[in-house]
């Protein structure tokens, strides 16, 4: 029997080896290599050697106004989209948590924004946000008169952030919806029946039964969405390249001005910030 366990373990190592090599070589090594790059003046040609300059990049970045502007834009984008996707997902999940004809079809339709390729969805929204003939301006200005005039949502640096936030909420609320709906469906109906016998109102039932049951899934959604949206690049850049969140700032530093070392240092700062947030959130908010 002893030999067999040894063999099993050996096979286990062999089977997991490709995964370990792939993740080690293409995730863990690059993360460490990124730190190394951030301490160097990186040659524009990747085959040429780099010069060590210590923490010079970090000092430059932390005293650079543009960095802090991008940082604030990232915070604004992430906080509004995390709240927006979670609340809309929660609302729609509660709405659909009942039996009605065509429910599974509608659930499938609601998932479409999440599975459509970003490039297609971004083009659709660009058209909607068009300053001259876009539906969005038409409805807001000509139909509802909520705004005085048509706005160039995509290209104006001032308004593009709102377009990007709306697009992100549209695209990602279905994920929150799906997770919350699954959790709602697992809450036992007897809890509500007992509450009704005790004369609880709809709001009381929601506050004392539904919300506590959803605490874990909403906590998980908030942390995942925060991490993902802090790193979000394509959904922002493909809709409007004038919204300079940190990932877009890093991308342009690296691949438009070829300041690889500086860009590597900014990504290191971004990672430390996200990691710090995770630690804080897990300890203080989730109390794990």
Partner 1 sequence: MVGKDSLRSKIIFVVLLMLVLAFVLIPFVTMISSSFKPNQEQTQLPPKIIPDNPTLEHYQGVLNPDIFPFLNYFKNSLIVAFFSAGIGVVISIFGSYSFARLEYTGRSVIQRGVLMVYMFGGVLLVIPLFQMISKLGLFDTRTSLVITYVVQTLPVSLYMLGNYFRTVPESIEEAAIIDGCSRLEVIFRIVLPLSAPAIVSVFIYAFMIAWNEYLFASVFINSSSLRTLPLGLNQLFYTQHYVWGRMMAASVLTAIPVIILFLSVERFITGGLTFGGVKE
The interface region with partner 1, picked from 66-74, 76-84, 155-163, 259-267 by CB under 8 A, is 259-267
Quick one: which of 208, 243, 235, 225 has its CA closest to 281?
225
Least Å distance, CB 68 to partner 1, is 18
The interface region with partner 1, picked from 55-63, 71-79, 155-163, 177-185 by CB under 8 A, is 177-185
Which residues 20-79 are close enough to bind partner 1 by CB under 8 A? 20, 22-23, 26-31, 33-34, 37, 42, 46-47
Tokens (6 digits) for 76: 């604004």
Which residues 203-232 are close enough to bind partner 1 by CB under 8 A? 205-206, 210, 220, 224, 227-228, 230-232
Least Å distance, CB 275 to partner 1, is 7
**Distance separating alpha carbons of residues 226 and 234, to the nearest angstrom:** 16
Instruction: For residue 13, give the H/E element and its range.
Output: helix 2-23
Residue 247 binds partner 1, judged by CB under 8 A: yes
Alpha-carbon distances, residue 109 vs 121, 122, 228, 256 (angstroms): 14, 18, 23, 39
Strand-pair category, 51-52 with 40-41: antiparallel
Least Å distance, CB 158 to partner 1, is 21
Least Å distance, CB 231 to partner 1, is 3
User: For partner 1, which is the closer residue by CB, 16 or 59?
Assistant: 16
Least Å distance, CB 94 to partner 1, is 7
Alpha-carbon distances, residue 155 vs 50, 76, 131, 149, 250 (angstroms): 37, 18, 9, 16, 20
Long-range contacts of 200-208 (CB under 8 A, 24+ apart): none
Which residues 130-149 are close enough to bind partner 1 by CB under 8 A? 132-135, 138, 142
Quick one: which of 282, 86, 98 has its CA closest to 180?
86
Residue 151 binds partner 1, judged by CB under 8 A: no
Least Å distance, CB 237 to partner 1, is 8
């Amino acid at each position: 029997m002893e030999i067999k366990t040894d063999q099993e373990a050996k096979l286990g190592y062999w089977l997991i080896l490709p995964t370990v090599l792939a993740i080690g070589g293409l995730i863990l090594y690059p993360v460490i290599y990124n730190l190394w790059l951030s301490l160097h003046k990186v040659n524009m040609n990747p085959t040429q050697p780099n010069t060590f300059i210590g923490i010079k990049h970090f000092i430059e970045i932390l005293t650079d106004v543009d960095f802090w502007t991008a940082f604030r834009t990232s915070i604004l984008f992430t906080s509004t989209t995390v709240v927006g996707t979670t609340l809309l997902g929660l609302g729609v999940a509660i709405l659909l948590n009942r039996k009605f004809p065509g429910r599974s079809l509608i659930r499938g339709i609601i998932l479409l924004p999440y599975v459509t390729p970003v490039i297609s969805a971004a083009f659709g929204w660009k058209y909607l946000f068009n300053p001259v003939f876009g539906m969005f301006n038409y409805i807001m200005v000509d139909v509802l008169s909520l705004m005085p005039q048509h706005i160039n949502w995509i290209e104006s640096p001032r308004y593009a952030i709102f377009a990007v936030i709306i697009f992100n909420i549209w695209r990602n609320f279905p994920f929150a919806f799906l997770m919350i709906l699954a959790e709602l469906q697992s809450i036992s109906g007897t809890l509500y029946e007992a509450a009704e016998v005790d004369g609880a109102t709809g709001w009381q039932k929601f506050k004392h039964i539904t919300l506590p049951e959803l605490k874990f899934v909403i906590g998980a959604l908030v942390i995942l969405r925060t991490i993902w949206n802090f790193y979000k690049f394509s959904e922002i850049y493909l809709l409007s390249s004038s919204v300079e969140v940190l990932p877009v700032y890093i991308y342009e530093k690296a691949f438009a001005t070829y300041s690889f070392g500086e860009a590597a240092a900014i990504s290191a700062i971004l990672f430390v910030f996200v990691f710090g947030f995770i630690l804080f959130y897990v300890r203080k908010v989730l109390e794990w």
